[in-house]
Amino acid sequence: MKGIRYSTMLCSAFLMISITHNVTTPATASPEPSRLQRWVTDLIDFMDREQLGYTGVSEKTEEFVRGIQKELGMQNICIPIRQMSKHAIRMLGKDNACAYFDVLILNEKWFKKLPEQEKRFLVGHELGHIKMKHCLKNYLSGVAVGLFTVGSGYLLSKYYSEPYQQIKNQLNNFIVVIPFLANIPFLIRSVFSNTYSRSQEREADKIAAIELNNIEGGIALMERFKKKHDPYSRFSLKRLFYNHPSPDERIEYLKQLATTQQTASQD
């Protein structure tokens, strides 16, 4: 369920369809995309089909996803469902799915083998990303952090030029240090974006667990992912550069949701 970030051109193109269109359709049908949505979707297919995947899924899988979409109150949102391309499988692994703006992408061959409850949680999680517009928020936050990095560097060089130049001259004697210092803004950006991404994963987990009343399915799916996951401690520095919480953290979070829900029902 890893998110993927592509070129600024593709992200900018999808900004035009990030605001969904309400249309009058039967509750069981998928709404028709607007002319603008169709044009942008065709553009993405042309430019990025090898990255994402462009083949549709089977009727059974489509019906299953539309059912979850309806349960989440998203039946009026046009969400294309596509099978992962070979390139996407190489990047994310065959046991995976992702949401790219308003597009749901999954490996149908693997998806069909999952138990019903795990399927429900997986689809609910990815639709949760779409519902909360996480891909759009990631893009905008990345732009904001980038502008902050460039702006702060400009202000430092303009208003603190003398001490800035002195530090630079001193560091010229330590050639090994300079590449590290040059990468500090990018490291800060990476830590910030990954921390934000992990919070979004928890938010999507909560939607799938609470709104679909399927905490057990989420725990079972995380146990499945745990077998193939590179474990790391929550106190490890590696954690700063992961855009997803570990399966253990997600299981613990889901159990906390179950406890909270149980306490609320007793009150």
Helices 184-206 + 134-159 axis angle, to 10: 160
Residue 210 has pLDDT above 90, yes or no: yes
H helical segments located in 84-214:
86-92, 108-111, 116-131, 134-159, 161-171, 177-182, 184-206
Q: Is residue 93 part of a domain?
A: yes
User: Which residues are within 8 A (CB) of 19 and not within 5 positions of it... i.e. 6 or more apart?
Assistant: none
Q: Determine the Cα–Cα distance for residues 221 and 116; give it in Å rounded to an integer.
A: 11
Q: Is residue 123 part of a domain?
A: no
Quick one: pLDDT at residue 48? 53
Q: Is residue 58 part of a domain?
A: yes
Q: Is residue 156 part of a domain?
A: yes
Q: Is residue 119 part of a domain?
A: no
Claim to verify: residue 109 and residue 224 sit in the same structural domain: no
Claim to verify: residue 16 and residue 107 sit in the same structural domain: yes
Q: Determine the Cα–Cα distance for residues 212 and 63; give it in Å rounded to an integer.
A: 17
Claim to verify: residue 68 and residue 188 sit in the same structural domain: no
Who wins on pLDDT, 91 or 224?
A: 224
Q: Is residue 253 part of a domain?
A: yes
Claim to verify: residue 104 and residue 141 sit in the same structural domain: no
Claim to verify: residue 155 and residue 196 sit in the same structural domain: yes
Among 8-17, 47-56, 94-103, 227-236, which is the least confidently predicted range? 8-17
Claim to verify: residue 88 and residue 150 sit in the same structural domain: no
Give the pLDDT confidence of 93-136 residue by residue, as tens digits: 889 999 988 899 999 999 999 999 999 999 999 999 999 999 88
Residue 26 has pLDDT above 50, yes or no: no
Quick one: pLDDT at residue 155? 74
Claim to verify: residue 71 and residue 191 sit in the same structural domain: no
Q: Determine the Cα–Cα distance for residues 73 and 212; give it in Å rounded to an integer.
A: 11
Q: Is residue 83 part of a domain?
A: yes
- Number of domains observed in the structure of the chain: 2
173 is in which domain, residue-wise?
137-266
pLDDT bucket at 5, cuts 50 / 70 / 90 = very low
Q: Which amino acid is at 230?
A: D
Claim to verify: residue 159 and residue 224 sit in the same structural domain: yes
Claim to verify: residue 87 and residue 156 sit in the same structural domain: no
Per the CB < 8 A criterion, the answer to whether 204 and 128 are in contact is: yes
Claim to verify: residue 142 and residue 45 sit in the same structural domain: no
The candidate with the shortest Cα–Cα distance to 14, out of 153, 135, 157, 147, is 135
Q: How many CB atoms lie within 10 A of CB 49?
A: 14
Quick one: pLDDT at residue 192? 83
What residues form DSSP beta bridges with 81?
104
Claim to verify: residue 143 and residue 251 sit in the same structural domain: yes
Claim to verify: residue 102 and residue 212 sit in the same structural domain: no
pLDDT bucket at 37, cuts 50 / 70 / 90 = low
Q: Is residue 1 part of a domain?
A: no
